[in-house]
Amino acid sequence: MLGNTFGRAFRITTSGESYAGGFRKNPAIPQELYGGQMVIIDGVPPGLKITAQAIHEELDKRRPGLTSVSTPRKEADRVYIFSGVMEDDLSTGAPVGMIIPNSDIEDVHIRQHKENKNLVRPGQASYTYYKKYGRYYDWAGAGRASARETVARVAGGAVAKLILDKMGIDVIAYVVESHGIKAAPVTYETAKANYRKNELNCPDLHKAQEMIEDLEKVKAANDSCGGIVEVVAVGVPAGLGEPVFDKLSATIAHAMMSIGGVKGIEFGEGFKHAAMTGSQSNDTPYFDEETGKIRFRTNRAGGLLGGISNGEEIRLRIACKPTPTILQQQSTVDITKRKSIDHVFASRSDPTICARIYPVCEAMMRIALLDAIYMAEGYKSISSVIDPGWDKL
């Protein structure tokens, strides 16, 4: 399998599957080492305090089984830091390695997956993984395509957060739409004030209730639904992003679209730009006497021009599809028998992925931003060697 690393200077590499650890159960191996998720974080500067507690604060946001609108799976999501951190929890500059064991690998669940290993699961990655990895493909709990993989990203993003916090850069993500029910538009300040005030983490507290009641009905009907998550980054300096292929908009889109279940992304006014005129779309600049900076009167571009941050907040939205696993009879194919059949897949699942995807979006956004900062700062320092006044017009 290729493509398990994201980022250039600050980067994470993840490994781990859903239930594969269940095949290594052996009294000679401590339970924590059967299997789970691993992340190696490259580019961590020395002297950063990294505690398991700081990582848990982020992991707990996406832990399953905590709310009525997430899967009943009980995954403990406890992190073990095993490298790159030494005395007084301070990083040494070496790669930081972490493992998050999967504590929920009951034989009964593996058996359920084994019984259906030849059946193509609608909406899931089982058919495409089978085409790519043939008879060796991981059929147990979606393998590497499982949302369990995202716990390793969140651990990596938690380290990026520790650094971004010191730079005054904040990233938050929250639900703005569920099953067609739309929240009112929010400022960063309101979203921050209402952050995680309900099970869905929707900052429109009134609409959130409506969304949650609707989700209960969807769940009772053994169905699932999709939604939209908004991600906002504030305090981002102007000048991040490397034209032309590594535009910040492109690397953020890469980060978001690599998360399972994400079907679309838009920055600022996004697809609405298509129906606008130039005068409606342009964000006009002005000189802010107070800060001495060039600002923009509106932010329809979502904080990015030419793929480079313009100093305004970066605002984007992702569209999440409905959770593929539903407790309903659906048509499918038995690969070995080469036959179309109907089947109900018994499984534990999220009625919506929105309630658990937002911390993953935050993590990926932080990693993409910190990586862009490393690139921009490196380039800037070399430019200053050539001409110390390069940035004065």
144, 325, 332, 370: residue in contact with ligand FMN (rule CB under 6 A) = 325
Q: Which stretch binds ligand FMN (CB under 6 A): 34-42, 139-147, 291-299, 374-382?
A: 139-147
- The yes or no reply on residue 350 touching ligand FMN (CB under 6 A) is yes
150, 198, 201, 249: residue in contact with ligand FMN (rule CB under 6 A) = 150
Classify residue 292 as left (phi > 0), alpha (psi -120 to 50) or beta: left
Separation CA 77–CA 151 (nearest Å): 8
Do residues 74 and 64 make contact, with C-beta atoms less than 8 angstroms apart? yes
- Per-residue mark of binding to ligand FMN, 357-376 (x: CB under 6 A): x--x----------------
Q: Which stretch binds ligand FMN (CB under 6 A): 14-22, 227-235, 272-280, 350-358?
A: 350-358
Write the DSSP string, 149-180.
GHHHHHHHHHHHHHHHHHHT-EEEEEEEEETT
Q: Which stretch binds ligand FMN (CB under 6 A): 212-220, 234-242, 351-359, 382-390?
A: 351-359
- The yes or no reply on residue 69 touching ligand FMN (CB under 6 A) is no
Angle at 316 between CA 245 and CA 206, to 5 degrees: 170
Separation CA 110–CA 35 (nearest Å): 14
- Per-residue mark of binding to ligand FMN, 235-274 (x: CB under 6 A): ------------------------xxx-------------
Outline where DSSP puts E strands in the chain. Answer: 5-6, 11-16, 36-42, 80-83, 96-101, 170-178, 181-182, 227-234, 262-267, 285-288, 293-296, 304-305, 308-309, 314-320, 330-334, 339-343
52, 120, 125, 327: residue in contact with ligand FMN (rule CB under 6 A) = 125
The tokens describing 324, both together, are 């593929």
The tokens describing 291, both together, are 């800060």
Residue 266 pairs with which residues in a beta bridge?
A: 317
- The yes or no reply on residue 151 touching ligand FMN (CB under 6 A) is no
User: CB of 355: closest distance to ligand FMN in angstroms?
Assistant: 8
183, 200, 353, 365: residue in contact with ligand FMN (rule CB under 6 A) = 353
Would you tell me which residues interact with ligand FMN (CB under 6 A)? 62, 71, 124-125, 142, 145, 147, 150, 259-261, 321, 323-325, 349-350, 353, 356-357, 360
